Amino acid sequence: MKQVTSDEISKVLKYGELIPQMESALRKISSASDYGIDQPVRSVVRIKPQEAALGIMPVYCQDDEILVTKLISYFPNNKIHPSHHALIIAFNSQNGVPIAILDADVLTEMRTAAASAVASKYLAKPDSKIMAIIGSGVQAKSHYYALSEIFQFTEVRVYSRNTQTAERLCKEIKGVLCTSVKEAVKDADIITTVTSSTKPILQQDWIKPGVHINAVGACLPDSQEISSEIMQSAVVYVDNREAALKESGDVILGKAEIYAEIGEVIAGSKESKTSETTVFKSLGLAIEDAVSVKLILEKLT
């Protein structure tokens, strides 16, 4: 069985190829039966003393001949170690024989950012110039690079409670370090929230009408990043309805009405309402991991 490290993945997985694959995967999952996709909502084991969780994410896609499962741990209170760790096991879809085990940390960072890039392509204004990133961890960095494949930003603003990591990120991406969320999001065209906050950090009166928001944190039903006021007034898109209604605190606690899956927009069955404020609530799907794994293994063969 092949073992694939994050270093190997970093060398072969590029956003220019990954984003189109993610667009195809998101379209397919919104018509799962047409492509022979079986993807249950992730199972989550809660580790209450650490306010943490372990997720199990299997998927089979007949159309792409993919059978994988991911194990991902989420420990938001980690100080020394990253908050997320993940492994993926890929199986031969014809006989069930395990064929590879992949370190999925870099893969998860990149596929999550690629999904937000796809959503932003359809939901943000094409001439978007100012991006605000709330958070400064690995997802903040990956989202900058992924969205920069789609848009030519003239200004990227960063705010994080961790000033040191925010300063490092700003230095790398030539971003503007802000002292508050309100300062970072003022007049921004695209806002990406990638924090471990369990309480809303983004408020309605801070954002301009018509902004697009990628809401990436708050991946548990009792956590929120986006205020209920925003979630109820914006046009809300998700990667998967069933998952959002079960897992997303932004949707559940925010009492949000889901307008569409982003895959429905890609397929043309739902509108991309770019003239209105839009939210893409990302939870991360096993099919996103699966198409990333297929791309990686093809490149390493």
Give me the domains of the chain, ranges plus CATH numbers: 2-107+287-300 (3.30.1780.10), 116-284 (3.40.50.720)
**How does pLDDT run across 22-57, given as a tens digit for each residue?**
999 999 999 999 999 999 999 999 999 998 999 999
- Cβ burial, residue 3 (10 Å; 0-12/13-18/19+): exposed
**pLDDT value of position 61:** 96
Q: Model-level pTM?
A: 0.94
145 CB neighbour count, 10 Å cutoff: 17
Note the pLDDT of residue 51: 87
pLDDT of residue 79: 83
What pLDDT, on the 0 to 100 scale, is given for residue 172? 97
For the chain of 301 residues, list the mean pLDDT of each consecutive stretch of 10: 95 97 96 94 93 94 96 88 90 97 95 98 97 95 98 98 95 97 97 94 97 93 95 98 95 97 97 97 96 96 84
Interatomic CA distance for residues 50 and 52, integer angstroms: 5
HEC string of the chain? CEEECHHHHHHHCCHHHHHHHHHHHHHHHCCHHHHCEECCCCEEEEEHHHCEEEEEEEEEECCCCEEEEEEEEECCCCCCCCCEEEEEEEECCCCCCEEEEEECHHHHHHHHHHHHHHHHHHHCCCCCCEEEEECCCHHHHHHHHHHCCCCCCCEEEEECCCHHHHHHHHHHHCCEECCCHHHHHCCCCEEEECCCCCCCCECHHHCCCCCEEEECCCCCCCCCCECHHHHHHCEEEECCHHHHHHHCHHHHCCCCCEEEEHHHHHHCCCCCCCCCCEEEECCCCHHHHHHHHHHHHHHHC
User: Could you give the C-alpha distances from 257 to 40, 79, 121, 166, 244, in angstroms and in order?
Assistant: 22, 35, 22, 33, 11
- CA 65 remoteness from chain centre: 24
Q: 261 pairs with which residues across the strands?
A: 238
